């Protein structure tokens, strides 16, 4: 029966169970873990999925993590950080959900577009096929066509990744209209692949109303009932909570979900998210999944293993020093807007026996009169990436303060451009110097559009995106930090330094220590007469990982520590 089901797609799209099978796919060769959430959003599905991938990887199992997002955007490129948090960029230029950043960091890997699926991407694929007549005149429906394309995307990742397990996080909460067809596709996947090849894990939140002082599981039970009503029987239930829950809560969840008590786990808040993989191992979560899918563990001597992860977590706990770093931006009310920067600082600090205390500075409120007060007591500042005019003048004032007061400075993308503008105004004397993104009529456009961006009106996916090689100047600070003359970092920008002014800057002390390999684009600037003043056109935080921290961030933290001493 199962073989008949899985072969339907091979017969053609006129079959009622349409499910196109990618070339080279073998049923049973790859296992699937499907992670869903109930009760409320924001309970940590992304970190849990990442941590489960870590603990399985440390057992020698090759994991391919992927994310389903229900919004109709094709990708995350045009989403406002206030609404969706940071836009994370993969090496191939895919603009995606910040959870993929967690996957990369926790699994010490680099992902591609094949690991990220949105409703917009699915529907565009379907409409393109329909317009091309690929469905042979069929009426195109959610079942079987939308669900079929979702399953095809999942199975194609199984083929291209050559993974033992494809770990699928379904975004949103069970009961959301926008993820219903993703859940249906996963139900069908379970039916077609066989129960022995698919493991459903559901995260639910156990509430503890302050007025009652005890945990209440009814909301979690109802969420599980909703999942069951969609035809999905979870194999494992994870009960998220602020504090550890009582055994009676475990029993109630077990009875209401048809899941054995030994497959219901409590995951309370931990001191650090980096403890989660070790905690999952401690409570036996990895072995539960391994047993459920009959996975084969093997020796794993790569960078990612329990010993190295344990050392990182231990070092994180034992840090004796603390530095104060200011992040000067305009999305400071929503920390998720700068989540990769926060994580890069967390990755690097333990390697220098230090914690990082982040101070948020809203640059829309910075003036000449209060900039000193705003930055007082800081050991360094970061000007992060961004777009548009809001908060720009405040950023430039922060840059000037850091340059003139020898305060360690790290400029990221927009921060690189703000450093150029500040130097042009206050050192070269061009008072109206600016970026044409903000002032098209400036007489000194020191930052201007990339040549390839001129005459482009479509905002989606039109920037210089993804990984590009950068040539490093020997003897520079960048060369000392990276230890290489060629590196690869990730970009997300439309504007660049205007090379018309190159000699003006160089003659007045600016060192351009990094440039694009195949284009005459300046990528790194630094000042020699400063303890640490570095601007980079790329985003080194995108490639920083707990076990492989960013050299630029390590250098910045070193400079902050020296200033503190």
Q: Name which residue leads in pLDDT, 77 or 402.
A: 402
Q: What percent of the chain lies above the pLDDT cut of 90?
A: 80
Q: Name which residue leads in pLDDT, 458 or 131.
A: 131
Upper half-sphere CA count for residue 135 (Cβ side, 13 Å): 20
105 Cα distance to chain centroid = 8
Q: Do domains 17-308 and 320-564 have the same CATH topology?
A: yes
pLDDT at 126 over 90: yes
- Whole-number pLDDT of residue 86: 87
Entry pTM: 0.92
Q: Name which residue leads in pLDDT, 538 or 390.
A: 538
H or E segment to which residue 465 belongs: strand 464-472
CATH class as words, domain 320-564: alpha beta
User: Which whole-number Å values give the CA distances from 454 to 94, 450, 451, 464, 497, in the listed order?
Assistant: 21, 7, 6, 12, 15
Indicate the SS3 state at residue 52: helix
C-alpha R_g of the chain: 25
Residues annotated as catalytic are: 413, 539, 541
Task: For residues 217 and 39, give the distance between their C-alpha atoms in angstroms, rounded to a whole number.
Answer: 10
pLDDT at 80 over 80: no
Cis upstream peptide for 341 (omega within 30°): no
- Whole-number pLDDT of residue 7: 44
Confidence at 332, pLDDT banded by 50, 70, 90: low
Task: For residue 251, give both structure tokens.
Answer: 């029993």
> Average pLDDT for residues 423-449, to the nearest whole number?
95
> Average pLDDT for residues 119-143, to the nearest whole number?
90
Using a 10 angstrom Cβ sphere, with 0-12 exposed, 13-18 middle and 19 or more buried, the burial of residue 454 is: exposed
Q: Which CATH superfamily is domain 17-308 in?
A: P-loop containing nucleotide triphosphate hydrolases (3.40.50.300)
> Average pLDDT for residues 48-76, to the nearest whole number?
95
Mean pLDDT, the chain, whole residue set: 91
Phi, psi of 237 (to 5 degrees): -120, 130
Per-residue 3-state assignment (H helix, E strand, C coil) for 509-550: CEEEEEEECCCCCEEEEEECCCCCEEEECCCHHHCCECCECC
> Average pLDDT for residues 54-58, to the nearest whole number?
96
pLDDT at 275 over 70: yes
Alpha helix positions (H), 25-174: 45-58, 81-84, 99-107, 119-131, 147-161
- Whole-number pLDDT of residue 301: 66
- Whole-number pLDDT of residue 13: 47
Model confidence over 132-167: pLDDT tens digits?
A: 988 877 888 999 999 999 999 999 999 999 999 999
Closest to 308 in 3D by CA, of 352, 337, 347, 335: 347
- Do 96 and 71 contact (CB within 8 A), yes or no? no
Upper half-sphere CA count for residue 156 (Cβ side, 13 Å): 15
> Average pLDDT for residues 503-513, to the nearest whole number?
97
Task: For residues 506 and 486, give the distance between their C-alpha atoms in angstroms, rounded to a whole number.
Answer: 21
Q: Name which residue leads in pLDDT, 93 or 83.
A: 93
Task: For residues 97 and 88, give the distance between their C-alpha atoms in angstroms, rounded to a whole number.
Answer: 6
Q: Name which residue leads in pLDDT, 14 or 277.
A: 277
> Average pLDDT for residues 44-51, to the nearest whole number?
95
Model confidence over 438-469: pLDDT tens digits?
A: 999 999 999 998 665 555 555 555 678 999 99
- Whole-number pLDDT of residue 385: 85
pLDDT at 170 over 70: yes
Place of tokens 């397990």: 165
- Whole-number pLDDT of residue 3: 40
Task: For residues 380 and 559, give the distance between their C-alpha atoms in angstroms, rounded to a whole number.
Answer: 8
Model confidence over 285-311: pLDDT tens digits?
A: 999 999 999 999 987 668 899 999 999
Per-residue 3-state assignment (H helix, E strand, C coil) for 99-119: HHHHHHHHHCCCCCHHHEEEH
Indicate the domain borders of the chain: 17-308, 320-564
Closest to 183 in 3D by CA, of 141, 231, 113: 231
Task: For residues 126 and 454, give the distance between their C-alpha atoms in angstroms, rounded to a whole number.
Answer: 31
- Whole-number pLDDT of residue 462: 63
Confidence at 387, pLDDT banded by 50, 70, 90: confident
Task: For residues 554 and 326, give the distance between their C-alpha atoms in angstroms, rounded to a whole number.
Answer: 16
- Whole-number pLDDT of residue 1: 35
């Amino acid at each position: 029966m199962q073989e008949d089901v899985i072969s339907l797609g091979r017969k053609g799209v006129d079959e009622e169970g349409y499910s196109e099978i990618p070339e080279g796919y073998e049923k049973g060769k790859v296992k699937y873990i499907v992670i869903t959430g109930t009760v409320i959003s924001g309970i940590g599905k992304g970190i849990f999925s990442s941590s489960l991938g870590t603990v399985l990887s440390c057992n020698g199992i090759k994991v391919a993590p992927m994310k389903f997002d229900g919004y109709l955007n094709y990708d995350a490129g045009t989403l406002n950080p206030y609404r969706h948090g940071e836009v994370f960029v993969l090496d191939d230029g895919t603009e995606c959900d910040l959870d993929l950043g967690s996957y990369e960091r926790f699994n010490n890997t680099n992902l591609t577009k094949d690991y990220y699926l949105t409703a917009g991407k699915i529907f565009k694929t379907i409409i393109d096929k329909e317009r091309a007549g690929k469905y042979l005149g069929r009426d195109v429906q959610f079942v079987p066509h939308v669900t079929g394309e979702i399953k095809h995307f999942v199975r194609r990742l199984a083929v291209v990744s050559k993974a033992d397990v494809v770990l699928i996080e379904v975004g949103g909460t069970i009961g959301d209209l926008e993820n219903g067809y993703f859940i249906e596709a996963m139900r069908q996947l379970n039916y077609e692949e066989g129960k022995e090849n698919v493991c459903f894990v559901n995260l639910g939140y156990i509430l503890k109303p302050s007025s009652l002082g005890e945990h209440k599981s009814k909301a979690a039970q109802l969420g599980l009932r909703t999942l069951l009503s969609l035809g999905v029987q979870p194999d494992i239930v994870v009960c998220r909570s602020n504090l550890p829950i009582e055994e009676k809560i475990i029993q109630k969840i077990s009875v209401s979900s048809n899941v054995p008590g030994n497959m219901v786990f409590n995951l309370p808040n931990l001191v650090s998210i980096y403890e989660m993989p070790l905690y999952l191992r401690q409570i036996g979560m990895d072995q539960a999944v391994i047993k459920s899918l009959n996975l084969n563990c093997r020796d794993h001597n790569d960078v990612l293993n329990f010993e190295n992860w344990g050392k990182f977590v231990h070092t994180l706990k034992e840090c004796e020093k603390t530095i104060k770093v200011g992040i000067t931006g305009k999305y400071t009310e929503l920390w998720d807007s700068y989540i990769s920067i926060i994580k890069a600082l967390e990755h690097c600090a333990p390697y220098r026996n230090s914690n990082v205390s982040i101070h948020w500075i809203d640059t829309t409120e910075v003036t000449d009169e209060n900039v000193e007060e705003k930055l007082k007591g800081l050991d360094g500042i970061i000007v992060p990436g961004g777009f548009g005019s809001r908060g720009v003048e405040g950023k430039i004032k922060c840059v000037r303060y850091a340059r003139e007061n020898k305060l360690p400075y790290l400029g990221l993308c927009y921060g690189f451009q703000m450093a150029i503008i500040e130097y042009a105004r206050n050192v070269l004397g061009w008072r109206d110097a600016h970026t044409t993104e903000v002032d098209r009529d400036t007489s000194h456009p020191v930052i201007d559009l990339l040549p390839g961006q001129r005459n482009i009106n479509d905002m989606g996916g039109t920037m210089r995106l993804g990984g590009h090689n950068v040539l490093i100047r020997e003897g520079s600070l960048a060369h000392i930090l990276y230890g290489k003359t060629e590196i690869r970092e990730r970009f997300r920008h439309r504007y660049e330094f205007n090379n018309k002014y190159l000699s003006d800057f160089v003659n007045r002390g600016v060192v351009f220590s990094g440039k694009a390999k195949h284009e005459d684009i300046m990528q790194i600037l630094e000042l020699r007469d400063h303890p640490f003043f570095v601007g980079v056109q790329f985003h080194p935080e995108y490639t920083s990982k707990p076990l492989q921290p960013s050299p630029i961030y390590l250098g910045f933290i070193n400079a902050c520590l020296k200033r503190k001493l």
